[in-house]
Chain A
Amino acid sequence: MTLVVAAVVSVGLTELYFSYQDSKRALTRFELDKASAAATSIEQLVQNLLLELDAVAQPTAASGPAGLRQRNQDFHRLLDRDSSIGRVSYVGRNGREQVRTSALETDRIDSGADLSGSPKFLVARSKHRYFGPVYFENGSPHLTVSVAERPPGHGAVVAEIDLRSIRQVIDRARVGKAGYAYAVDSRGELVTHPNINLVLRHTSFASLPQVRAALRGNAVTVGRDEKGRKVLSAFQAINPLGWRVFVEQPLSEAFAPLKSAIWRTAFLLFAFLLLAIATSVLLARRLVRPIESIQTAAAKIGSGSLNQRIEIPSNDELGALAAEFNHMAARLQESYSGLEHKVEERTRELATALTELDEKSRELEAASRHKSEFLANMSHELRTPLNAIIGFSQVLNEKLFGEVNEKQAEYLQDILTSANHLLALINDILDLSKVEAGQVELSVAPFSLREALEGGIVMVRERASNDSVEVALSDTPGIDLVCGDERRIRQVIFNLLSNAVKFTPAGGSVYVQAAQVNGEVRVSVADTGPGIAPEDHERIFEEFQQTETGVGQREGTGLGLALSKRLVELHGGRIWVDSALGQGSTFVFTLPSTHAS
């Protein structure tokens, strides 16, 4: 479209430019013709005037005063014929004025005024004609014209011409409505102009560009008027006078027909542009609207409303596109609903599995509880006969009912040892099962950790001295009272200490330490025993799990550490072992610092 507009505009402009140039040439030529005509008319006027003056400059038939009176009469007739002549004089050969005839002043015969040095007289006599410069009298431009007398008296006739009379001649040369013609003298002074006021004010046009150029003999087509408006100008020189006649027309008027052509072209251009714009807008609408609705529908489908459809009634490509789009949306909706269905099915299956799992775990939980309850009950029930076994074995061993032989004593001792081991085992199982069944309740109170540690050491000291194992308690600065179930903590400490003494070979040592680390109380029991392989570090805290060393000892239930772990954890602490084979073991448990006071 831009291309079309550019082409139309450039064609229009070119056309306008050429018609502008043509009009200007034609108008200037026309003005020049007018100016030439005006110049010719003025020259004619001057010629006529010269003929008239020549006629009255003829020597008179009579001589002396009668001759002068004759001249006066002739001059009167001249003044009556030509009202532009204000005054005529006859100057004698000696340059003295002999007759002066005027319309307004009294006639003078032999005034004797001396003109012998004036060019009015001298030039006329030598060159036969004289045209003076333009001068102003009574506010009006005047011109002196003199002609020489044919020999007899050989004087001259001098006439003063009021130049306002040439206005009519010049006015005939005007062009158009606002056009005008004027004349300037050789200095650029206005001689005549339609605006008489300019003439009466002695205006000089010498500064107007066209006048300036004309006085130098050059032509300027576009000049300015006295108000600075642009004018189309042409001039012609008036030969005998050295004047220039200008015929001018304001550009605005001169190019008015061109202006209407410009308007017409502009209007047509505008109308075509409008048409083009309207067409393109309509086209764009018919294209963009459907595309927009497709876009909107696509966005809606994108955001999930798959039942969206596009309504385009047209049968063109866009209609086809919309139909395809609708088809696609339908397919998408179909697949989407299938997918939804499948997800639903799977979810349902998953839910069922979860329910089953839940049920199973509940069953499992119940089984575990039953197991713990069973163990607790069982232990209790086992302990009763065991107590009888131990009691009676002790009574027998203490020989309260008579002597026993060596062999019997040996067996009694075996029974007692085994029974005690069984009791310990049952007690541990009972404790453990109570913990698992959630039946253990801690009776938390502040107690002296140091005392608890010392108590534990006392309990193992006998065995340790038997096995030549040194047991030592390091200083526990800042730690005295801690919060917890003293009996349970003592149980844990004893457990760890007895394990340490048990597994430490003769000559080894057990070292007990308590410290405040990171806001918790940390109790460690280090030994110089065989150590525990890292893979066993976790296992040894499980029920009935012992290291091969432990199993080799044939001592212990495999429940001590599991129980200790449960008890420490009940207090909110942790328990672990740092150890490696052949390096000894350090069992550590912690109690949260809140228990310290």
Chain B
Amino acid sequence: MKLPSRTAGVGLGSAVVLLSLLTACNGNGGKSSAKPIPRVGLMHVGTDHIPPSRDTLEARLKQLGWINGQNIKLVWRNLEPDQAEAQAKEFVRQRVNVIVAFEDQSIRAAQAATAGPKDRIPVVFLHPSDPVRDGLVKSLSRPGGNLTGIFGARDVVAKQLELYALLVPNLHRVLTLIDPNDPATGRLLAQYRAAASVSGRPIELVIRKVSTARDLQRVFQSLRPGEVDGAFLLSPILRLNFSALTIRLATRAKLPVQAHRKDWVEKGALFSYGADLGPIGRRAARYVDRILRGTPPADLAVEVVPDVEFAINLKTASKLGIRVPQQMIIRADEVYR
């Protein structure tokens, strides 16, 4: 049989057609979903500062592929204490995808605003005092509601007092500023008092109740010289709203003051002992990411970051004539000279 001779050409031709079909199919991977980009409402009470965790959160989100203004919208609101509730409600009204609440006041506002059965927007909290005790979550491992988040060691007032005593050898009387309206005050005060009692030397606690800037100014004005050896901001709500003012007033009164994080040490506080907020913001980004990708907040366990940071400002110390023991300088994670 004489075979036809054009078959090879035809076979090759069909293979080429097939190949082009395959590549065409592969090339059509782009999705054209017109889904609105997710919005995340971030709220914080305390207009005199921005928590460092906010920037690290945003930076980490970017690493995770959420770029603000591109595929995510981060709505940042720094608030006065009385604005928190309204802002939380506003976020709920706008139906943001996630609310990120920094510190107790905004967390409480966000929790209240999302309590309604139709308003259960996920809330990621950062730096709560105690999420289980404050009823934010059922348990750390199984939050169970629409709130979850992350927190680190903070308001370790007992440890701060211990360190205060070690740093300032002449510390005998401490002006302790509390706001009775802050629900955390009672608990912290108890720890604080216990610490004072086990200290190596007797420390007298001069407790003053303040709620406003004016109260604070009045307390400092009313101090007699030598009445106290140092100041201590105990209630979280006070350090949130009046850290800058307290440092200013204490400096003027030639008194050392403790802080809960190193930023304030840089600004003149004698020392700080507390969580480093930057890493907490970074880790909080994971919660926002997971929630935006569909994991219910109830399934995201609360993480506790136990790391603490010890910072000392030697400049402040020398101005106040305090000789910081060498072994304390060695223990410090950060020393401002």
Asked if A86 contacts B306 (CB within 8 A), the reply is yes
In the complex, A138→B154 CA distance in Å?
14
B: contact size bracket: 35 or more
User: What is the chain A residue whose CB lies nearest that of B6?
Assistant: A282
Provide the residues of chain A in CB contact with B22, threshold 8 Å.
267
Q: Assess whether A421 is interfacial by the CB under 8 Å rule.
A: no
Contacts of A315 in B (CB 8 A): 2
Q: Mark A264-277, 1 if CB is under 8 A from B, else 0.
A: 00010011001110
B159 and A279: CB pair below 8 A?
no
Categorize the interface residue count of chain A: 35 or more
B303 touches A200 (CB 8 A): yes
> B304–A139 contact, CB under 8 A?
yes
Judge if A144 is at the interface, Cβ distance under 8 Å: no
B331-A80 in contact (CB<8A): yes
**Interface: A136 (CB within 8 A):** yes
Nearest to A271 among chain B residues (CB) is B15
Q: In the complex, are the beta carbons of B4 and A286 less than 8 A apart?
A: yes
From residue A585, how far is it (CB to closest CB) to chain B in Å? 91
Looking across the interface, which residue of chain A has its beta carbon closest to that of B22? Answer: A267
Once bound together, how far apart are the Cα atoms of A201 and B297, in whole Å?
13
Q: How far is the CA of A274 from the CA of B10 in the complex (A)?
A: 10
| Chain B CB within 8 A of A6 CB | no
The distance in angstroms between the C-alpha atoms of A270 and B307, with both chains bound, is 60
Establish whether residues A282 and B1, one from each chain, have CB atoms under 8 Å apart when the complex forms.
Answer: no
- Interface 0/1 of B203-226, CB less than 8 Å to A: 000000000000000000000000
Contact (Cβ within 8 A) A278 B10: yes
Residue with the greatest number of chain B CB neighbours at <10 A, chosen from A76, A77, A275:
A275
Distance A273 CA – B3 CA, assembled complex (angstroms)? 19
CB neighbours of A340 from chain B (8 A): none
What per-residue 1/0 map shows which CB atoms of B17-32 lie under 8 Å from chain A? 0100010000000000
Which of A101-109, A342-350, A546-554 lies on the face that meets chain B?
A: A101-109
Residue B198 lies at the interface, judged by CB distance under 8 Å to chain A: yes
Chain B positions within 8 Å of A316 at CB level: 1-2
* A136-B307 contact, Cβ under 8 Å, with A104-B156, A105-B159, A278-B7: no
- Quick check: B4 and A282 within 8 Å, CB to CB? yes
Please determine whether A106 and B6 come into contact, CB atoms closer than 8 angstroms.
Answer: no
B299 within 8 A of A: yes
Which chain B residues lie closer than 8 Å to A107 at the CB level? 162
Q: Which residue of A lies closest to B197 (CB)?
A: A106
A-B contact list, 22 entries, CB within 8 Å: A77-B330, A83-B307, A105-B156, A106-B158, A106-B159, A106-B162, A138-B304, A139-B140, A139-B301, A139-B303, A140-B304, A140-B306, A197-B300, A200-B141, A200-B301, A200-B302, A270-B18, A278-B7, A279-B10, A282-B6, A283-B3, A315-B2
Please give 20 more A-B residue pairs, beta carbons under 8 A apart, in addition to A108-B198, A196-B303, A317-B1: A73-B327, A77-B331, A80-B331, A103-B306, A103-B308, A104-B159, A105-B159, A106-B158, A106-B159, A138-B306, A139-B302, A162-B306, A200-B302, A201-B142, A201-B301, A274-B11, A275-B14, A278-B11, A282-B6, A283-B4
